[in-house]
């Protein structure tokens, strides 16, 4: 075994332990696929990453580093919170990007640009391929989630490396009150995300909204109240039992593809903030912005919670 630099980073939050944790092995050199997978299974986090030098092709194209991303059950070609968390850890450990305000990450999906927005990082959402799911699959997934047909406004199969099913629902309350059948979902899709836009409410209605959420979540009411104060406009949940993640606290790759779909179809504004993790006692915030060229950027804060070394 080799002692390697290691960080555990909380992503999509500026407050430790309210976002999505990520294990980052800052030197994955010499580790086999099986060793990486074994460690990711042991950490039991939604993702564990291994930072490596870029490939010759990646370096020639401007990559600053390469990352491999593992869930407890397998490797992903791309994921959002591992992208931001690995970049945060790499910079904090002394990584020096070639460009002043942009970092280029190489991963299995290709090169991903990351920019600094003050103290926050944001990645350029990879190109999205999307299609309509089959009515039969949609009906089965709806049943596994406990949804009625009229509660689903729109649905798309979303592919930006990983392939997820996305559902736009009728209200945030519907999203937050779901009690999925994880065993049924595991046999149907690799991952499914649900979302709903918050209605535009006058300030006088914010108290009734937070009370509604407190009733929905009981012990998590304080987290719900903080969401109201932060003014999130989209409520999101994501389930991926097929890759060992029952419910993910905050999901960057899904939020990236979701934003590209919703903005393109006029179902969401070009700039908004998504809330995710309420039902897990988290307060994740995903900052979405589409620039003048049409590129969607997915931003979030990150904070290091564990800083040390690991034997691998």
Task: State the 10-residue block means of pLDDT for the chain, 312 residues long.
Answer: 96 97 98 98 96 98 98 94 98 95 95 93 97 98 98 97 96 97 95 92 38 38 38 93 90 97 97 97 97 97 98 96
Q: Tell me the pLDDT tens digit for each residue of 48-75.
A: 999 999 999 999 999 999 999 999 999 9
Which of 9, 106, 37 lies closest to 312 in space, CA to CA? 37
Q: What is the third-level CATH fold of 3-125+300-311?
A: Diaminopimelate Epimerase; Chain A, domain 1 (3.10.310)
- The SS3 assignment for 102 reads strand
Q: Are strands 129-131 and 152-159 parallel, antiparallel or unpaired?
A: antiparallel
Residue range(s) of every CATH 3.10.310.10 domain in the chain: 3-125+300-311, 129-291
Annotated catalytic residues are: 47
- Please provide residue 75's backbone torsions phi and psi, each rounded to the nearest 5 degrees: -95, 145
Structure tokens at 103: 């970092």
pLDDT of res. 154:
98
Q: What is the pLDDT of residue 228?
A: 36
pLDDT at residue 202, as a whole number: 41
State residue 230's pLDDT score: 52
Q: What is the pLDDT of residue 200?
A: 65
Q: Give 122's strand partners.
A: 115, 299
Q: What DSSP state is assigned to residue 240?
A: B
Specify the CATH class of 129-291 in words.
alpha beta
């Amino acid at each position: 075994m080799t002692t390697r630099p290691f960080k555990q980073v909380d992503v999509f939050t500026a407050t430790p332990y309210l976002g999505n944790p990520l294990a980052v092995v800052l030197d994955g050199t010499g580790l086999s696929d099986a060793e990486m997978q074994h460690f990711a299974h042991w950490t039991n986090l939604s993702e564990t990453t291994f930072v490596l030098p870029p490939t010759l092709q990646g370096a020639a194209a401007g990559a600053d580093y390469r990352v491999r991303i593992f869930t407890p059950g397998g490797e992903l070609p791309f994921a959002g919170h591992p992208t931001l968390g690995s970049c945060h850890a790499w910079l904090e450990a002394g990584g020096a990007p070639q460009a002043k305000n942009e970092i280029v990450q190489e991963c299995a999906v290709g090169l991903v640009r990351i920019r600094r927005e003050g103290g926050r990082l944001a990645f350029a959402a990879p190109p999205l391929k999307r299609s309509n799911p089959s009515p039969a699959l949609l009906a089965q997934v709806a049943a596994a989630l406990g949804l009625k047909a009229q509660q689903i406004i729109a649905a798309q199969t979303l592919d930006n490396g990983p392939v997820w099913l996305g559902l736009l629902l009728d209200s945030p309350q519907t999203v937050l009150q779901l009690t999925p059948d994880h065993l049924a979902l595991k046999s149907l899709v690799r991952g499914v995300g649900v979302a709903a836009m918050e209605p535009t409410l006058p300030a006088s209605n914010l108290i009734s909204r937070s009370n509604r959420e407190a009733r929905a979540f009981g012990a998590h009411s304080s987290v719900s109240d903080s969401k109201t104060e932060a003014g999130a406009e989209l409520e999101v949940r994501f389930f991926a039992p097929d890759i060992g993640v029952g419910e993910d606290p905050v999901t960057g790759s899904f939020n990236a593809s979701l934003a590209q779909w919703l903005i393109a179809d006029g179902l969401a504004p070009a700039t908004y903030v998504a809330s995710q993790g309420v039902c897990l006692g988290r307060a994740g915030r995903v900052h979405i912005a589409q620039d003048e060229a049409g590129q969607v950027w997915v931003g979030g804060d990150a904070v290091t919670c564990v800083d040390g070394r690991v034997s691998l």
